[in-house]
Homo-oligomer: A and B are copies of this chain.
């Protein structure tokens, strides 16, 4: 596997563009991704009962398993917009389909931004008209910019691997920031690949990989109405179709996981107001399910997050969060340690405090990337979750997001 520059246009036969259509005041607010040919597609969506109109539209496309393009807007989530919202999502797909020369049933639509405001369809339709001629193989970056809301940087990742003698590329982009919590937590992410992959394999792979990547991050515990992760595989790399029994399946899975994992981590690094990136690893848990519950509870705890904001080695809050996680485990067997580029410090052994230097702990925790390891000593399951600290800026950003 080779890590390369780029995002959704890294793979063969994908074009993209991003531009300002007027939904936001100044910044880019519409993006489009187009595959040269029909692509095999799979997608996962929010588990929220309140699903945005584009999610409802996209579910049908993912079910059919075939797509040509995605149209994305930021600045307006098209959620809680009733039947008009559904009509608007469909009209968006229709407009793009007409320009591309395909059916609207091949066009995904994604929205992110404020809830409960109807889409300005004049701007959306005009935006698509402007986007279409701008589509280019170098357009990934501008598309990645256009899907952002309160994100402070774009999130892209791409890799290549060899599959049956052909170079296969997998690339992706994502946006996150707020309303990010482990249940299809991605907000929006789009993965493109020129690999030839069977629909069944792509679906299964996406489901499994999202569980260990996007569903293991949290910024604020709020599962959005719009969470979407779409993957499109157009097969233009010319490799022999990948299925679960292919000799190259494991390599492809590894590369695919890498791209989704990196995008997930980029979302937490750019969590609203985040100052620190937190990785929580749970080792030797009784089961994978328990390990995940434990890791997710810790990175979701407001008290743990506030302690990291203060660079405070308040490990009691970590054990407390593990305790209410719902996981089956014995607290009196747990060891805990913190580490960063400044070193490592063990703080708990067998569920009880170890003496440690507060000065050393502070030095470690003042870094921007903090790694916490909980060794449960009661099995061999492992899980990793990613989060960020809770800061004044999170409160400021969300105290008046709409204005």
Which residues of A are at the interface with B, using a C-beta cutoff of 8 A? 46-51, 77, 79-82, 114-117, 178-179, 181, 183, 220-225, 300-303, 306-307, 309-310, 312, 314-317, 319-325, 327, 329, 331-332, 348, 350-353, 390-392, 394-403
A394 CB contacts on chain B under 8 angstroms: 302, 306, 395
A50 touches B320 (CB 8 A): yes
Are B353 and A303 in contact, with the CB atoms below 8 A?
A: no
Chain copies in complex: 2
Contacting residue for A352 out of B82, B300, B312, CB 8 A: B82
15 new A-B pairs (CB below 8 Å) besides A79-B320, A307-B398?
A49-B322, A49-B329, A80-B348, A82-B350, A115-B317, A116-B352, A117-B353, A178-B303, A183-B324, A222-B301, A222-B302, A307-B401, A309-B395, A314-B401, A392-B396
Given the complex, which residues of B lie within 8 Å of A222, measured CB to CB?
Answer: 301-303, 317, 320-321, 324
CB-CB < 8 A to A46: which residues of B?
A: 324
Whether the Cβ atoms of A320 and B81 lie closer than 8 Å is no
A72 to B144, CA, bound (A): 56
A399 to B303, CA, bound (A): 8
3 closest A-B pairs by beta carbon, nearest first, are A115-B316, A50-B323, A310-B399
Closest to A391 in B: B395
Whether the Cβ atoms of A332 and B221 lie closer than 8 Å is no
CA distance A181 to B221 in the complex (A): 14
Q: Is the CB of B302 within 8 A of A221?
A: yes
Q: List 17 A-B contacts (CB under 8 A).
A: A47-B324, A49-B322, A49-B323, A49-B327, A77-B316, A80-B319, A116-B352, A221-B221, A223-B320, A223-B323, A223-B324, A224-B320, A307-B401, A310-B399, A310-B400, A310-B401, A312-B401
> B309 to A399, Cβ gap below 8 A?
yes
- B80 near A402 with CB under 8 A, answer no
Chain B residue nearest in CB terms to A403: B312
Task: Check B301 against A80 for contact (C-beta < 8 Å).
Answer: no
Interface contact A323-B48, CB-CB below 8 Å: yes
Given A116-B353, A179-B303, A398-B302, A225 and B323 contact (CB-CB distance below 8 Å)? yes
B residues in contact with A183, CB < 8 Å: 324
A348 to B399, CA, bound (A): 20
Q: Are B114 and A316 in contact (CB under 8 A)?
A: yes
User: Shortest beta-carbon distance, A199 to chain B, in Å?
Assistant: 29
Docked CA distance A402–B314 (Å): 8
Separation in Å of the A337 CB from the closest CB of chain B? 14
CA distance A391 to B390 in the complex (A): 11
Chain B contacts for A401, CB-based, 8 A = 307, 310, 312, 314
Nearest Cβ distance between residue A279 and chain B, in whole angstroms?
20
Which residue of chain B has the shortest Cβ distance to A222 in the bound complex? B303
The answer to whether A80 touches B351 (Cβ under 8 A) is yes
Check A48–B312 contact: CB distance below 8 A.
no
- With A315-B116, A400-B310 already in contact, the answer to whether A322 and B50 are too (CB < 8 A) is yes
* In contact, B117 and A319 (Cβ under 8 angstroms): no
Which residues of chain B come closer than 8 Å to A223, judged between CB atoms? 320, 323-324
Question: How far is B313's CA from A403's CA once the two chains are assembled, in angstroms?
Answer: 11
Q: Once the chains are docked, how many angstroms separate the CA of A48 from the CA of B316?
A: 13
Closest Cβ of chain B to A243, distance in Å, is 35
Contact partners of A331 in chain B: CB under 8 A: 49-50, 80
**Which of A77, A303, A391 gathers the greatest number of chain B CB atoms within 10 Å?**
A303
Best-buried of A77, A302, A323, A353 by chain B (most CB within 10 Å): A302
Cβ–Cβ contact A395 & B395, under 8 A: yes
Q: A301-B222, A323-B225, A401-B312 are in contact. Are A395 and B306 (CB under 8 A)?
A: yes
Contacts of A306 in B (CB 8 A): 394-395, 397-399
- Nearest to A79 among chain B residues (CB) is B316
Complex interface: chain B residues within 8 A of A310 (CB): 398-401
